[in-house]
Amino acid sequence: MLKNIILMGPPGAGKGTLAKQLKVAHHLVHISTGDMFREAIKAETPLGKLAQSYIAKGHLVPDDVTIGIVRDRLSQEDCANGFLLDGFPRTLVQAEALDKLAVEIHRPIDVVVNLDCDEKELIRRISGRRVCKNCGTPYHINTMKSKIEGICDVCGGPLFQRPDDNEEALKVRLGHYNHDTKPLLDYYKAKGLLVNFNSLVGSEDLFDEVSLFLKSK
């Protein structure tokens, strides 16, 4: 089974949803840089204050800061049994830093799972997205409703709309994806690590397909 995994794809492709399913099914550590930043913002730490100024506008948090938090997390003991990197790397500088780090800590990347999705659908998903304030589980107001409106199925926490899920910030985020992150697909393709999945099939089918693939190797 492939266990050291990078999840890639544009905002709204379903990385977070898939990561939460894979984490439970295969006992992997979920490392979401977006979640880590949102926790720091909630706790009002210096990192949170810095991150917020970028995230609110849809910009990327600077590489040195982002690489630092991933380095700390990935070096921890619990990542020895496998990890899912969700939302990292997003730039070539981050990808190169991860390569070095992976060698240093003897945790080589096994596979890059890329989720394909067209832009129209991304906009539909993100504009209807609601997220649990406590545990980060994502929902959609039409297609992935919680059982009770406004309440998280997993933990009972309140659902809210992320402040960066507005039209203006989303345009900036898609711009960064196309300009900074998409080139990484060629980078990982050249290393023979890239596998593409169509995320339009829906979250259950996508989970089955990716799970089967990871287990088959």
Closer CB to ligand ADP, 45 or 215, in the complex: 45
Longest alpha-carbon distance in the chain: 46
Query: Residues 203, 13: contact at Cβ < 8 Å?
Result: no
33 binds ligand ADP (CB under 6 A): yes
Residue facing ligand ADP at closest CB distance: 34
Distance CA 96, CA 185 (A): 13
Distance CA 128, CA 141 (A): 5
Sheet holding 194-198, edge to edge: 29-32, 83-86, 4-8, 111-116, 194-198
Q: Which one of 70-78, 100-108, 144-152, 173-181 is the stretch in contact with Zn ion (CB under 5 A)? A: 144-152
Query: Residues 137, 152: contact at Cβ < 8 Å?
Result: yes
Closer CB to ligand ADP, 7 or 111, in the complex: 7
Closer CB to Zn ion, 148 or 154, in the complex: 154
73 binds ligand ADP (CB under 6 A): no
Site residues (vs ligand ADP, CB under 6 A): 11, 15, 33-34, 37, 54-55, 58-61, 66, 87-90, 94, 164, 173
Site residues (vs Zn ion, CB under 5 A): 132, 134-135, 137, 152, 154-155, 157
